[in-house]
Amino acid sequence: MIEKLREKSQTVLLKPSIRVLYLRKLRDSVKHHREEIISALKEDIGKSDYEGFMTEYATVMQELNFFINNTLKLARTKNASFDLLTFPNKTEIRNRAFGVCLIISPWNYPFNLSMIPVIDAIAAGNSVYLMMSRKNPRIRELMKEVLKPVEDIVHLENDRSYDEVLEEKFDFYFFTGSKNRGQAVYKKAAENLKPCVLELGGKSPCIVDKDVDLEDVAKKICWAKFTNSGQTCVAVDYLVVEESIKDRLLHYILKEIDENYSDISEMSRIKTRAKYDEFRKIMMDRTDRIGGKYHDDEMIIEPCVFTDVTFNDEIMKDEIFGPLLPVISYTDIDAMLMHIRRMDNPLAFYVFTKDKKLCDYITNSVGFGGGCINDCMMHISNNKAPFGGFGNSGLGHYHGKWGFDTFSHKQSVYVSRKIDNPFRFKPFTDKKLNLMKKFLG
C-alpha cells in the first residue's frame, strides 16, 4: 500500500492541476456528507450541531476552498533574488513533495484535525496514510465514504495498531495528540531521518489585567474554556487574574456559565471513563469549587471553577483538558511570569489588557506556540497565519500556505546559461581578487 501511495506522489500528483482536481472531488464529498458528519460528531463526542458545524465542518471547508483557489500559485517555481556571486545565471526554488505522509489525528476534533493536514499534504503533492482515533467509531466509519473519491491517494487505516504502522517507513510524519505518543512518533521519524511535525498541547494560561471590560472578558474566556467541554488543545487551561478585579471577574464568569453553559444537551461528553473519574476526584478534593455538577450516565461534567488556586497545587501539574477552570490571583506581575516560565512552553497564550507596553512585556517574557491579545482561541481561525507549537507544545506548523510549505521540500536548483562568472575559475589573479574585494567587501 505504501509503495502504491508513493508512486502516486511521484507521478500523478506531480502536476498541481491534478491536485486541485482531487481537492475539488474531496470538497464535493465533504459537502455531500455534511449532515452525516455533524451527526457523527454528536454521536461520538456529544458535540452540538452548531459546535460541530463551526469548529469542524466549516474550518475544513475553509481550508479546501483556500487550496482549490491557491494551489497552482503556491506550487509555481520561483526565482531566488539577484546575487552577485551567481550572476548572470539564476537559482530556482522548486516545491518538491516528500512522498507518503503519515498523519495521525486525535479524538477531540476528529474531522477537523484529520482533514486539514490531509488537505495541506495533497496540495503540496503528497499522498497520505491516515490514522484516526479508534475512540470515534462513527466518524471513523463515515470517513471511508468521505475519502472514497480520493482513496487512490489517501489510505485510511482501520485494522493495524499504532505500533504496527510505525514500523513502516514513511517520508513525512505528522502527529496531533499527547506528548507521550508524540515522542514515540518523533523517535521513529528520527530513526528514519525523516521530517516530523508534532502538534501537542500544554497548560495554556490566560492573564487578565485590571483595566479591561470584565463582562467581555468573561464571555470570551468561557467560550474558549468550555467549547467541547474544554477538550481542546488551545483551550484556556488556567486563569491568572490581577487580585483587585478577581471577585468581579468571577461574578461575570459564573453569570456567563449560568446563562449560556448550563444546558447539558449542548455539552460534549468527557471522552473516557478514566478521565471522567479523574475530574470527579479533583472536584471532590477541593473546597473552593463552584459548579461542576456531574452526570455519570452521560459522562458529562458541567463547567467548574476553582477560585483559590496556587501554582503549587496538584491541578497545576498537568494539562487539564476538560471543563475545570483554576483561577490564580496575582499582585506582582514578575513573580507571576516567573512561575509560568518554570512550566513547559504552552501551546497557546492569552492576555487581556489595555496597556500595550504591559502586553508586549508579558508576551515577550514567555515562549508559546501562538496566542491572542484581548481574545482567546481565535488565532487558529485564520488560515492565512501559521498554527503550531513551541518547545514542549510541539514543533512545526500548518494551515493554509504554511501547511503547503510544511509539506513541501524547498529545492534550490542553479540554472547555468551561456554566460558564466569568470571569477570562480582559475587562474586566480591579483586583479580578480582586488575586484572581488571592491564589490564584495
pLDDT digits (tens, 9 = 90+) for 277-291: 999 999 999 999 999
Q: Taking residues 53-68, what's their average pLDDT?
A: 97
CB burial of 74-99 (b: ≥16 within 10 Å; e: otherwise) equals bbeeeeeeeeeebeeeeeeeebebbb
* 114 torsion bin: left (phi>0), alpha (psi -120 to 50), beta (else): alpha
Could you say which of 206, 222, 233, 376 is catalytic?
Answer: 233
Q: Taking residues 166-182, what's their average pLDDT?
A: 95
Please determine, for residue 86, whether its predicted confidence score (pLDDT) is greater than 80. no
Residue found by looking up cell 474531522 in the block = 111
Say whether 233 is catalytic. yes
DSSP assignment letter at 345? P
Q: What is the pLDDT of residue 436?
A: 77
- In this structure, what C-alpha cell is assigned to residue 414? 542553479
Say whether 101 is catalytic. no
Please determine, for residue 105, whether its predicted confidence score (pLDDT) is greater than 70. yes
Query: Shortest CA distance to 39 belongs to which of 64, 23, 24, 56?
Result: 56
Could you say which of 199, 242, 256, 302 is catalytic?
Answer: 199
Query: What string of DSSP letters covers 134-149?
Result: TT-HHHHHHHHHHTGG
In the chain the domains, ranked by start, together with CATH numbers, are: 1-200+399-414 (3.40.605.10), 205-380 (3.40.309.10)
Residues 261 and 226 sit within 8 Å (Cβ to Cβ):
yes
**Choice between 247 and 1, residue whose per-residue pLDDT is larger:** 247
